[in-house]
Structure 1
């Protein structure tokens, strides 16, 4: 993975983007500290899909994943009842 100081990434953004598309993820640093990574959109979509399975994947999975389907209890705030009389 190539490392780009933020100043270079800004000044040569087109080259930065081309490097990402040709070589893969590119690291951006700010004052020598890793700050961000530019990745191709296909990689981003793959990571997003892997992070949160679809409903179809949950239903077809061998193991039960109840924690994904049932919201945590006690987190819903209810409105105060309105007096209609």
Structure 2
């Protein structure tokens, strides 16, 4: 069984099961899509690619400090509405 005829990065569940070693080998260089009922279901990527994509890139504080809005004179004012009545 071969990858789906429309490209060499897509596999049906049946073909991926039959050729799992090949799916894994190809995923080392290019993500491999496994389809179910003709629709993309999962993507197999190398462990290196997964780690790269999920690695934390700095802290929230660093992200906010690098914001293009830092230093902008935004008028952010909290509304002073009365609390709502929760009694039944």
* TM-score under structure 1 length normalisation: 0.58
Query: What is the rounded CA distance, in whole Å, between the counterparts of 2:11 and 2:41 in structure 1?
Result: 10
Query: What is the rounded CA distance, in whole Å, between the counterparts of 1:56 and 1:34 in structure 2?
Result: 33
Higher helix share: 1
Which residue is equivalent to 1:29?
Answer: 35
Number of aligned positions between the proteins: 61
Which residue is equivalent to 1:20?
Answer: 27
Query: What is the rounded CA distance, in whole Å, between the counterparts of 1:38 and 1:17 in structure 2?
Result: 7
Query: What is the rounded CA distance, in whole Å, between the counterparts of 1:57 and 1:42 in structure 2?
Result: 27
Which residue is equivalent to 2:18?
Answer: 11
Q: Which has the larger radius of gyration?
A: 2
Dislocated runs of 4+, deviation >2 Å: 52-59, 61-64
1:57/1:28 CA distance change after superposition, 3 Å: farther
What is the aligned-residue RMSD (CA, Å)?
2.6
* TM-score under structure 2 length normalisation: 0.56
Question: Structure 1: any 5+ residue segments left out of the alignment?
Answer: 65-85
